[in-house]
Amino acid sequence: MRVVSGIQTTGNLHLGNYLGAIKQWVAMQDQGECLFFLADLHALTGNISPQELARSTIEMAATLLASGIDDRAILFNQARVPAHAELCWILNGTARMGWLNRMTQWKDKAGKNREGASVGLFAYPVLQAADVLAYKATHVPVGEDQKQHLELARDIAAKFNTDFEVELFPLPEPFISKAAPRIMSLRDGSAKMSKSDPSDLSRINLSDDDDMIAQKLRKAKTDPEPLPDSFDALAERPEAKNLVTIFAALSDRDPQSVVTEFAGQGFGAFKPALADLAIAVLGPVRERLNRLLADREAVGQQLARGAERASALAEPTLKAAQKAVGLQI
């Protein structure tokens, strides 16, 4: 199994990212060959300064390393591997406008100003396809919001193989871990925890200190009812369900065992226990992150080494694609 996945370079990573994706990435390192990249080329489709992009790339890499990504996987930033952009251009000849026009995220991000949106914003799903197909990935970790883009990558791979009568690209399968929880906002149990939420109280950032973690959990929205003895009974209590889900994910436990332990107790007892647990788990990650950020040059060197390993894997695929379309004479 070869797994490829990318993560945005911008914004602070928060508890939702950590429990929903990064812990899964760390676990995957023992399950197959894994390549994890920072999507700095994708960041160019947004409004970001060169200084912020460079800074964010190093900080995001440091956060992943602090969370447990190590040399079992290949960690790199996308722009250091030219095969991503080169293969994207080749695949632009295979992708179809109608396919891209149907992308839900394109419609959402462009809104009513589609004529004013960048070509990069429209076509970046083709780059996403190249990100995966360059390594002949067999599996891609995806959330619900990215399944459509993976289907596009499969369509592009299948059409390329058919058009040029090759068997170059396998059709990557989605890797959806049942263990990955959906972490919601601390202020609204119906919305995902997000870095774009204007309220910092809605999320726990991996850079938050112990006092801030405790304060945010103490102020997290709940209801006045005690915890039941069944996790299913929380179906209509989204904020309570979210806090139990967070406790279970942080402690690697089943949510039912958490409600069994705290059944009949109110959040005056549950929140302090959750805060202690979150501090115990996230505190060491934050400490490792601070040590890494004290030597940003070393983090950049680690990304460069990862890019060398990734390039060695991607180059044969790129050359095969060039040969298939007639660019290798």
d(CA 28, CA 175): 10
Contact, 291 vs 266, CB < 8 A?
no
Distance CA 127, CA 122 (A): 10
195 is catalytic: yes
> What number of other Cβ atoms are within 10 A of residue 249's Cβ?
23
Give the largest Cα separation in the chain, rounded.
74
Under DSSP, the state recorded for 181 is -
Q: Provide the CA 55 distance to its chain's centre, in angstroms.
A: 18
Catalytic residue, candidates 109, 159, 221, 323: 109
Per annotation, catalytic residue among 192, 216, 241, 271? 192
As a whole number of angstroms, the distance between CA 69 and CA 65 comes to 5
Cβ burial, residue 287 (10 Å; 0-12/13-18/19+): exposed
Sign of the CA dihedral running 98, 104, 106, 112: positive
- Please give the backbone phi and psi of residue 140, each rounded to the nearest 5 degrees, phi first: -135, 120
Q: SS3 of 222, please? A: coil
192 is catalytic: yes
d(CA 115, CA 112) in angstroms, rounded, equals: 8
Helices and strands in the chain: count of H runs, count of E runs = 14, 5
Q: Is 159 a catalytic residue?
A: no
User: Catalytic pick from 159, 195, 221, 323?
Assistant: 195
Positions annotated as catalytic residues are 109, 192, 195
